[in-house]
Amino acid sequence: MRRPLACALLAMVFVEHVSYAQPRVPGRAEAPPPPPVQPQNPLAAQTTELPPPPEVSDPMLTPVPRAALEIGTWEDALKHIRARSTDLHIAIQEVARAEGQSRVALAGVLPTINGTGTYTHNIITNTTAQFSGFGANGVPTTRPVNTPYPNYFTGAIVAVQPFIALRAWNAIGTANVAIDAARQSVEETKRQIALGVANAIVAVVTSERIAELNRIGLRNALQRLDLTSRKQALGGATGIDVVRARQDVEDARATLVAGDETLRQNRENLGLALGIPDQIGVPPTVDINGLERDARSICKPVETVDERPDVATLLTRVRIARRNVNDVWFQFSPSVNLQSQVATTTVDTGAAPNSTWNVQAVLTVPIWDGGARYGNLRDTRAQELQAYERAEAQRRQALIDIDRARRGVGVADDRRRVASAARDLAAENDRLTRVSYQEGRGTSLELVTTAQALRSAEIQLALREFETVNARILAVLALAKCPW
């Protein structure tokens, strides 16, 4: 066996020697030298193009049906809110109640007129002689009458005009302040409704995007399963590779089902925010970045935190509590009423006229009521302190909310940039892993892991993008009032 091997080596050396020792022939073109061998680029795999993915079909790839009713502008949302929002209607009725109480307070300083009428029938009577006048020659005459009168009617009209009524005057001012508080509460309700509707719209758009990404993820998982199955048929993959691909498909299905339900719930939440007990969608053409511009158009910024409707409402309630303390103090003061009464009766006494009319000035001086006023004074003073503490607590919370909202814009934008970079890295990692797997250098575990990481990164980026929009809207509404 050594002799054929040695002969082969000698032949190779001879041929190589002849090729190098062959003289140049004049007039003959030299053969071009062989091209140099290029060193292998370790990053060549990064530029490898993937073949087109196979076509796959699955019933779950069908998107969720669009909602029957969709809103695309703030004007559409405000139209439904004005007509159907229960929170707004409750707040408006609170203003009506405050106006009604103001009219009640005004009645305390206006005259009151009451009329009474009484018909009396006496069952037991006695007959007596009643003087009826003088007869001929100046002789007194009498007539028999029943005492008491068996049947008679009396009527009276009484008018009372408060003249000095400190409590009533204070009540009028308190009622007017209560109207201001109710109107400020309406503005706060509108601000909260605007914030809630904006959040609901952003949530629906976010859920729509995530549902779309979930279907893309399921499609990619189905394509990987198809490729793995084909590779197994050719002997390039094992059964565990196919099982891992199928697990990835089922994980993508579970994520898709949860995302679709979240989309439906967010549509229902938008419907509730608009006062409609149904799913309300957002058209795909809506400009989500325009929500901030629309929020600025319907809600105007205020200069100080004390002008924000919720803080202003509680500060107004402090004024009401202080006036309630004054109301108790006025209970110690006297009051003067002017009264007038017109009365008539069918009883003819012969001495007094049947009809009378009088005018009275009534002075009322409170002396002792068992200590109820002192108890009310302690109660109202405590209520005033409570109202002040509530206003101060809300003011501090509002300051923190404003700072967080303004800071949240930058934080949300930073998180969006980080999520975008993470998504790009996850996409490149997934592409390289697929290339390696198709070339037989990667494992199915790496393929499934990078695919799941890419789906998660896509969802996180979508959440961060819409979170940035939401943060900008919150920054606009954090220090504003909405007079729409």
Q: What share of the chain is helix, strand, coil (3-state, %, to 5)?
A: 60, 15, 25
Short-list 145, 139, 170, 447, CA closest to 326: 170
Contact 87, 189 (CB under 8 A): yes
Model pLDDT, residue 458: 93
257: left (phi over 0), alpha (psi -120 to 50) or beta: alpha
The answer to whether the predicted template modeling score (pTM) of the entire model surpasses 0.85 is no
Q: Which residue has the tokens 């009604």?
A: 100
Tell me how far apart the alpha carbons of residues 189 and 379 are, in angstroms, rounded to a whole number.
30
Give domain 72-108+165-331+366-481's CATH number out of 3.10.580.10, 2.60.40.10, 1.20.1600.10, 3.20.20.70. 1.20.1600.10
Q: Domains of the chain: which residue ranges?
A: 72-108+165-331+366-481
> 3-state class of 344 per DSSP?
strand
pLDDT in tens, the chain (484 residues): 444 433 433 333 333 333 333 434 334 344 444 444 444 444 334 445 656 777 888 999 999 999 999 998 888 899 999 999 999 999 999 999 999 999 999 999 999 999 999 999 999 888 887 767 777 777 777 777 778 888 999 999 999 999 999 999 999 999 999 999 999 999 999 999 999 999 999 999 999 999 999 999 999 999 989 988 888 888 877 889 899 999 999 999 999 999 999 999 999 999 999 999 999 999 988 888 888 888 888 899 999 999 999 999 999 999 999 999 999 999 999 999 999 999 999 887 767 788 999 999 999 999 999 999 999 999 999 999 999 999 999 999 999 999 999 999 999 999 999 999 999 999 999 999 888 887 778 788 888 899 899 999 999 999 999 999 999 999 999 999 998 8
Tell me how far apart the alpha carbons of residues 198 and 122 are, in angstroms, rounded to a whole number.
76
Give the Cβ contact number of residue 316 at 10 Å: 21
Tell me how far apart the alpha carbons of residues 237 and 440 are, in angstroms, rounded to a whole number.
9
For the CA atoms of 203, 206, 211, 214, the dihedral, rounded to the nearest 10 degrees, stands at: -130
Model pLDDT, residue 51: 67
Cα angle 270, 275, 279 (rounded to 5 degrees) comes to 40
Q: What are phi and psi of 146, to 5 degrees?
A: -95, 130
Contact 213, 458 (CB under 8 A): yes
